[in-house]
Amino acid sequence: MERLLINKNTSIWSVFLLLFFITLSKYNISIGFSLKIYMIFLAIFFCIHFRDFYFHTLYHYEILLLLFYFTYCLSGAFSQYPESSIRVILGVILVLGCYFIMRYVLELTSLSAIEKSIANVGIIFNVISLLLYFIGIQVTGRFPTGVEITSYGLLLDRDYPRLIGLLDDPNIFIFLTQSFFPII
């Protein structure tokens, strides 16, 4: 218990960086699936903290999640396209590994530090997104027209400029940015 209390103050920056990298979902490396920045960060975090890493008892919903993914991967293992199935299975393993590392990072941090990190990331995310949107408006002209044109933080959807900021989809942008408001 004492080890957990000592570590609660050491990962504030880890949580901040993790949450910030999650908001950078537009930027990724395509290796058959999208390798996101937060996944690379979590792999580095895991390598650094490998000796201290531990699994807590799984919650019921986590057991159901693992059963779902196991069934999903098992059905893909016998598919007509084994190369695609192997790629999907590796992607599922990567996402589940990131989930458990992310859970570990969040367990090491106090609730107030998580709240501060969410608030700070929300402000930075929205400021950068608005800047990218205005840059996109300037680059495409003051009254841009087009269909499915992306420029910086702007998406032109049937001649209607939409804010995407650091993300790929304006609907996901709205969903993500709304999650910051209760904290701020």
Sheet holding 149-151, edge to edge: 149-151, 154-157, 160-163
pLDDT tens track for 85-126? 888 888 899 999 999 999 999 988 889 999 999 999 999 999
Give the whole-angstrom CA distance, residue 126 versus residue 128: 6
- Same domain? 9 vs 95: yes
pLDDT tens track for 12-62? 889 999 999 999 988 998 887 788 999 999 999 999 988 888 888 899 999
* Whole-structure pTM value: 0.81
Q: Other CB atoms closer than 10 Å to residue 142's CB: what's the count?
A: 6
Number of domains in the chain: 2
3-class secondary structure per residue, 38-63? HHHHHHHHHHHCHHHCCCCCCCHHHH
- Same domain? 134 vs 103: no
- Same domain? 98 vs 122: no
Residue where a domain stops, chosen among 109, 139, 158: 109
Give the whole-angstrom CA distance, residue 130 versus residue 166: 9
∠ CA 139-144-145 to the nearest 5 degrees? 135
Domain that holds residue 59: 1-109
